[in-house]
Structure 1
């Protein structure tokens, strides 16, 4: 038989509490409490026998027949074991006997509204404490073993959804009865159970095993883990066992060969306990010789001290030590008999006081209503048990260590839990270290406290905090993808889509950076975008400014040369006013480049495209007017031609004015309906915020370009047809080449412009303006400047008249 010496402290806590109450003149005066203690021997037969004895006469086993006026049963303080006492709460509830249950795995969990049941270890609160512990250590992949199928069914129905809400899922969910239904403790028939247990539980990938059980299932578990199952696991993998109240390690004196190394680093819950004033002295004074009526002390003494009392053997040949009765409890190892008050002993102590305070409140209530309570003693006796329930459900008091104890309306003891870390040693001894506490009723920030430095983990983990997950966490830059057919804790890690990031581990979804930031290459960080526009400070902007000013200065020099030689034939040919107009428009074309450089403003955005469009149309219409003048001049020399009367300044001015006004009209419509405005473009480029001008409508912009292109093509066509007309200073050839360059530049501009973004678009347009303007300047004026400056002998009227005739 497995003898648990530690449990003797529970009995002493009961005796100590009853003695204190009986010695207290203010609590239950003139009433003496007594008690009977029954040992179930972990046997269903003895458990049921004890339950029936509660409702039988003294020293006679006749259930449901009691007529004594003394020794009345008030309450039962019990540890229910699932497999051994499945019907006890229901049976005792018929008689409305208050039952204060301090077992972790109570029998009928679903029927929690039994009138007679008071739970010193509330299941829901303990599950909450387990959940908080799992969250604290970030254990997401666990195995769960329940003591019985009833407990497992309740867990699956009530608590499993709560665990799932906290992203905790299970590698194994089983009941111990289903895993070990074949086990016969007496016959040691454990092989089938052991194989199934190791295959389903110990071989799982989960590093954390939650065992929600009782004393009986703990004995069976220790027996299984202490045996070497040949061929199953040569070196069993270490696990973190999380044990519920009542499943903490206890010393089984008769089972010293059971190895407990598997439980090294285990964590168990115990109801919060404090040292009781006077209890330590009470233990020290406990002797077999001075404990009359204690039927357990001599058996405890022989098991704990490993000795034998002389009067228990038939002959004088006694092997081993002889018990003197003077051995001291404080000399026993902690794992054999703990000196400090355990959680169960503290709970039993408080349970006794709860019954006493409830009974005291009931008698106080009766004294206040004496007129209504004039009945016979027998009648009071029959009503005591059911009347006590009302007061038990509202009992609240401070015990001897000044701790508040209360039971809520649902019959649950309002108490927190201590977290115990178990350290085992090669000599099969062990020590429980209190490493934290859990208060299920506290706020989320204060619900759990753990001293991680005080925890000893299983040697398998090399003293590092264990990790229990189905798979490795997804690194930043990746997101989780659910694996089909597996629990939600099992997933693949896939990279975030382009422009999305994940900056924490195990994110379910990636997210986009704010508009003013962009994702880095690893996609785990958002980097602020830098603001960009074609500025005067950067090399490209400086280059464009230098080119614009240089060519503007060149146009000014050419204009100066032409004005200085305004009387020469080559300047006067084909209307010198048109030449001056063309030079001025080219001068403005170069200067309008400056509108495209610098941070876009409302004014510059309005003027950019309109100024460029109108100025270029003036230049092209001037060339068109010159070409038409050449054609009309040649036609006017033929006999009988009436075209000559159309030739003159008014006609050329009219062409330039008409063509320009059409472009002005297009620009005015654009400015009135949807004018360009400055905008901040955060989407076009990945790493930049572009400050640019929004043209508002591409239709009007391409209308401006289209009209300019139409005039250029018309001018090119007319000039090309007039290129071979017999004229000494025929400008048609120069205009043809100028328009050819102009059209080539702007035809290539459109695809280049559409394929670029940001300030590159501005640079493409500036380059097109600059190139086309230089083309016009070079192709049209370089031949004239060559003659004026380098070949003045060709710039004579005589040569012109000679060529003309």
Structure 2
């Protein structure tokens, strides 16, 4: 009834407008099919033939037909179109939502002011996903249309991660059997699903659908999601304990200004012959009706069966309103554009002649207009009005009345991120729910830090939650997989976020770094003190023995090796990485070549004491310096080749230790690194062999014993260094190398120079040629 009045109201509003269709008066013919297909066709024939039931004949040319505006079900709307599409009349529906009719090839002259059920399915999926519901029951009539749509909706739900626990169909014709109702109630009590989706086109569901829904609403602890508003025009019996536990997704609606006043003040003279219409109209006189819609009339009748005055948006009258405005704007655009050149002025106003409806289709397609509410609307490329859905909460009040409260909306044409909105605080939930909104899931949600584990025999919604493995996180609920953190980050303790890794290196501030630094400086000072002692006592026999210049070079190289270890402490950089390895290799080669020169000097000195031996001419510093230069030059060439091919560099080691980024030096070329170490080992080995063979030579200047002990210490340190170095990580690896440098250098310093310093400082009486010969 509201739809009929909306037609009249909108046409009057447009006819009274001075901007839209000036000098043109719109008229309407309204027919009711009463859900009867034969009556539908007969009424359509009357419309097209202008009174006479003869097709292809029109006896009232003064009032041409512009378009058909209908509120039929999808099935009847398709039947009407297929029967009369040969006339090319625009057919504008304010009710049919069948997505198949969006096909502009099959239905080029079909338009509508409601969204298709294709958008409805997406809106329902958005609603379910918003509340985190993924475990559902499904109830639907068994007719082809509803079964087909329900199947598509289930597919959409499953694509969004939902699962259907059970599905029940009921006959779409006749009354629902008591057996089926009992079966439904029994299923609802057994099922673990909290959310029950009832997909039913009310045209195909009929009165038994409403009766079934009223019975289901008495079930506690369930949430029902339904499509389209149900008109509970009759009072709900007070002994029915109906729960406020349903959400409805319905076509977008809005109150038109002054429409309630129009309904309240209109005189229904033309409805005098329709008893049902008269009862509907007179029921608006009920004192319980709100003031905005209550009619001022005197009657002693009571109207217990009608509560339609409590409807918030007056059914689908908003869609009727937009349908009439869309047609009016299309007519207006056609007149303004000059497309209708064949017009004539008469006393009745504008009279449109040939092919009005043929030309009108071009203006309806992709129409952009503004309705009486000032809203900007448009038809999309399929001829559908770009509108959406309201999400409503059905509330039953203690006095037996009911109402829908809009709690959100879904508009597929809105900008990304704004298409779905809902106000959870506005929803009234049943009191029996322990949590609001209630949860409908087969398994509890996996919290961040966990992922889903679905067993083969279970559906995708039933799973268990397992923690993310080491090194991975999940930062959202119900994660299917755990993701790996970036290389410079690591999972926190809960494994729900990545946090920066701790950056570490052997720092001067670390206890280990401080200890090694002081040890290096301490040995450096000792070596410097020994050098000072040797310089002060340079003319004494014990200093002059075995070439004091070699002793000076050896002491200086040991001092540099102690300082070299400091390059290994602190944050590595490319320059320090290059210096630490090359300086270490060259300085140690000088140290070992000095020891080799000392050893060779001992051997040559022993043989030079024999009469007529040619070794006497080789005695002196020239041979020793030559040995040092040649041996050091070979190591220098190796280091330069290393630098020019693959030099050491600083890099971030993110994999050696869990949760730690180690700033360390990469050797660049491992082969070059071990070549440098191998060459040092070669020098040490030659020095050890020669010194060992010469350790018992009976010569006053024999230093071979001390060199042998020092080489034993040196080789022991560096042989144990290699496996230890390879088995450690991070700053421990650097500390091992520093320890090897200090230990080997300290061993050489102690074995060779401490005995001489003891004699120089504490036993000066032995620092003479006479005593040296006794050693």
TM-score between the two structures when normalised by the length of structure 1: 0.78
Alignment partner, residue 732 of structure 1: 704
* SS of corresponding position for 1:266: strand
* SS of corresponding position for 1:772: helix
2:174 to 172, 185, 188: 185
Q: 1:268 and 2:249 equivalent?
A: yes
* SS of corresponding position for 1:505: coil
Q: 1:660 and 2:649 equivalent?
A: no
Offset of 1:24 from its aligned partner? Answer: 8.1
Give me the whole-angstrom Cα distance separating, in 2, the residues matched to 1:36 and 1:204: 49
Alignment partner, residue 149 of structure 1: 144
Give me the whole-angstrom Cα distance separating, in 2, the residues matched to 1:359 and 1:627: 116
Give me the whole-angstrom Cα distance separating, in 2, the residues matched to 1:116 and 1:799: 128
Given that residues 172 and 200 in structure 1 are in contact (C-alpha distance below 8 angstroms), is that contact kept between their aligned partners in structure 2? Answer: no
Q: What are the equivalent positions in structure 2 for 1:578-727 lying under 5 Å apart?
A: 578-601=550-573, 603-635=575-607, 646-727=618-699
2:223 to 224, 228, 239: 239
Change (3 A) 1:578 1:466: same
Given that residues 264 and 424 in structure 1 are in contact (C-alpha distance below 8 angstroms), is that contact kept between their aligned partners in structure 2? Answer: no
Offset of 1:427 from its aligned partner? Answer: 5.3
2:205 to 194, 217, 234: 217
Change (3 A) 1:268 1:794: same
| Greater Cα offset, 21-30 or 509-518 | 21-30
Given that residues 627 and 719 in structure 1 are in contact (C-alpha distance below 8 angstroms), is that contact kept between their aligned partners in structure 2? Answer: yes
Alignment partner, residue 82 of structure 2: 90
* SS of corresponding position for 1:764: helix
Alignment partner, residue 291 of structure 2: none
Alignment partner, residue 122 of structure 1: 115
Change (3 A) 1:573 1:155: same
1:746 to 692, 713, 718: 718
Offset of 1:777 from its aligned partner? Answer: 1.6
Given that residues 165 and 193 in structure 2 are in contact (C-alpha distance below 8 angstroms), is that contact kept between their aligned partners in structure 1? Answer: no
Q: 1:369 and 2:342 equivalent?
A: yes
| Greater Cα offset, 644-653 or 194-203 | 194-203
* SS of corresponding position for 1:518: strand
Alignment partner, residue 5 of structure 1: none
Given that residues 221 and 433 in structure 2 are in contact (C-alpha distance below 8 angstroms), is that contact kept between their aligned partners in structure 1? Answer: no
Offset of 1:486 from its aligned partner? Answer: 6.7
Q: 1:475 and 2:469 equivalent?
A: no
* SS of corresponding position for 2:628: helix
Change (3 A) 1:655 1:203: same
Alignment partner, residue 49 of structure 1: 39
Alignment partner, residue 5 of structure 2: 12
Given that residues 395 and 406 in structure 1 are in contact (C-alpha distance below 8 angstroms), is that contact kept between their aligned partners in structure 2? Answer: yes
Alignment partner, residue 502 of structure 1: 474
Given that residues 74 and 96 in structure 2 are in contact (C-alpha distance below 8 angstroms), is that contact kept between their aligned partners in structure 1? Answer: no
Offset of 1:125 from its aligned partner? Answer: 4.5
Change (3 A) 1:109 1:552: same
Matched residues, number: 756
Change (3 A) 1:227 1:501: closer
* SS of corresponding position for 2:716: helix
Give me the whole-angstrom Cα distance separating, in 2, the residues matched to 1:21 and 1:531: 75
Give me the whole-angstrom Cα distance separating, in 2, the residues matched to 1:399 and 1:799: 124
Give me the whole-angstrom Cα distance separating, in 1, the residues matched to 2:620 and 2:446: 83
Change (3 A) 1:484 1:335: farther
Change (3 A) 1:366 1:173: farther
Give me the whole-angstrom Cα distance separating, in 2, the residues matched to 1:760 and 1:540: 9
* SS of corresponding position for 1:261: coil
Give me the whole-angstrom Cα distance separating, in 2, the residues matched to 1:662 and 1:111: 86
Given that residues 244 and 429 in structure 2 are in contact (C-alpha distance below 8 angstroms), is that contact kept between their aligned partners in structure 1? Answer: no
Give me the whole-angstrom Cα distance separating, in 1, the residues matched to 2:549 and 2:278: 134
Q: 1:542 and 2:514 equivalent?
A: yes
Change (3 A) 1:363 1:672: closer
Given that residues 335 and 431 in structure 1 are in contact (C-alpha distance below 8 angstroms), is that contact kept between their aligned partners in structure 2? Answer: no
Offset of 1:421 from its aligned partner? Answer: 2.0
* SS of corresponding position for 1:38: coil
Cα offsets for 1:491-529 (capped at 9, x unmatched) = 665544543333333455544444443332333333334
Give me the whole-angstrom Cα distance separating, in 2, the residues matched to 1:15 and 1:549: 103
Cα offsets for 1:201-245 (capped at 9, x unmatched) = 99363636363522442643432344479xxxx9654124142xx
1:250 to 231, 239, 242: 231
Give me the whole-angstrom Cα distance separating, in 1, the residues matched to 2:667 and 2:377: 77
Change (3 A) 1:330 1:125: farther
Alignment partner, residue 205 of structure 1: 193
| Greater Cα offset, 487-496 or 54-63 | 54-63
Report the RMSD for the aligned CA atoms in angstroms: 4.8
Given that residues 597 and 628 in structure 2 are in contact (C-alpha distance below 8 angstroms), is that contact kept between their aligned partners in structure 1? Answer: yes
Given that residues 605 and 619 in structure 2 are in contact (C-alpha distance below 8 angstroms), is that contact kept between their aligned partners in structure 1? Answer: yes
Change (3 A) 1:218 1:731: farther
Give me the whole-angstrom Cα distance separating, in 2, the residues matched to 1:394 and 1:589: 86
Given that residues 284 and 328 in structure 1 are in contact (C-alpha distance below 8 angstroms), is that contact kept between their aligned partners in structure 2? Answer: no
Give me the whole-angstrom Cα distance separating, in 1, the residues matched to 2:632 and 2:359: 109
Change (3 A) 1:656 1:50: closer
Offset of 1:554 from its aligned partner? Answer: 1.7
Give me the whole-angstrom Cα distance separating, in 2, the residues matched to 1:257 and 1:216: 28
Given that residues 146 and 213 in structure 1 are in contact (C-alpha distance below 8 angstroms), is that contact kept between their aligned partners in structure 2? Answer: no
* SS of corresponding position for 1:422: strand
Q: What are the equivalent positions in structure 2 for 1:284-299 lying under 5 Å apart?
A: 284-285=264-265, 291-299=271-279
Cα offsets for 1:349-375 (capped at 9, x unmatched) = 44456566767888997974148x99x
Give me the whole-angstrom Cα distance separating, in 2, the residues matched to 1:391 and 1:91: 23
Cα offsets for 1:640-692 (capped at 9, x unmatched) = 86655655544444433433332233233334444444445555444444444
Give me the whole-angstrom Cα distance separating, in 2, the residues matched to 1:80 and 1:477: 52
Give me the whole-angstrom Cα distance separating, in 1, the residues matched to 2:701 and 2:335: 135
Change (3 A) 1:463 1:539: closer
Give me the whole-angstrom Cα distance separating, in 2, the residues matched to 1:297 and 1:63: 30
Offset of 1:741 from its aligned partner? Answer: 0.9
Offset of 1:746 from its aligned partner? Answer: 0.6
Cα offsets for 1:762-785 (capped at 9, x unmatched) = 222211111111111222223333
* SS of corresponding position for 2:390: strand
Change (3 A) 1:341 1:35: farther
Unmatched 5+ stretches in structure 2: 288-295
Give me the whole-angstrom Cα distance separating, in 1, the residues matched to 2:574 and 2:16: 95
Change (3 A) 1:304 1:524: same
Offset of 1:586 from its aligned partner? Answer: 2.0
Cα offsets for 1:133-180 (capped at 9, x unmatched) = 4565555666666664335546767x8887777x35452797x8xx11
Given that residues 283 and 306 in structure 2 are in contact (C-alpha distance below 8 angstroms), is that contact kept between their aligned partners in structure 1? Answer: no
